[in-house]
Structure formats: structure tokens, C-alpha cells
Amino acid sequence: MYEMYMQQLFECARRFVIIYSSNVDLKWPDEHVRHRRFTNWIEEYKPEWVQGSVVANPYPYDAADSENTSFADFYVFARR
């Protein structure tokens, strides 16, 4: 599913792709959450895309306030 999703995401884009996610390989206690270092996949399979900016989440993850914080940032990619 992940591979197919990433392929479709980049194939549908013309100029930019923005991904809101964590970018780490990390086990998480909730089964529906899967952390992946997706930038490695992009470098290997979509080298025609270059990472631009990373917009840091203004509310970084805090286990004591998990309802109002997030482990994700915005990653912007542009076609070369």
C-alpha cells in the first residue's frame, strides 16, 4: 500500500508535492500509525523530485498533550 500510494502521489503531481508526516523509522504503540523515513524512498525512486523547504510544526508532539500536538511537519518537494 505504501509503495503504491507514494507512486500515485508523485505521478499525479505536476510541480509540487507536499507531505505532512513524520520522517523517521519508528515503532509506535498505536497500530494505525506507521512512521517511515519517506525521504529515502523519494531519493531512490523519484530522483527527479528535490526537497525544498520543511515547515516545522508549531505544535510538536507532546505525549502529555497528544490531542493538540503532532509529530508531523510539512515537507515540500519540487520537480527538477
Predicted confidence (pLDDT) per residue in 40-62, tens digit = 999 999 999 999 999 999 999 99
Among 57, 55, 56, residue whose Cα is nearest residue 65: 57
The CB-side HSE value for 55 (13 A sphere, CA atoms) comes to: 7
Q: How confident is the model at residue 34 (pLDDT cuts 50, 70, 90)?
A: confident
Tell me the residue range of the domain where 74 lies: 2-79
Predicted confidence (pLDDT) per residue in 3-30, tens digit = 999 999 999 999 999 999 999 877 777 7
pLDDT of residue 55: 97
Count of the separate structural domains present in the chain: 1
**Which residue type is seen at 73?**
D
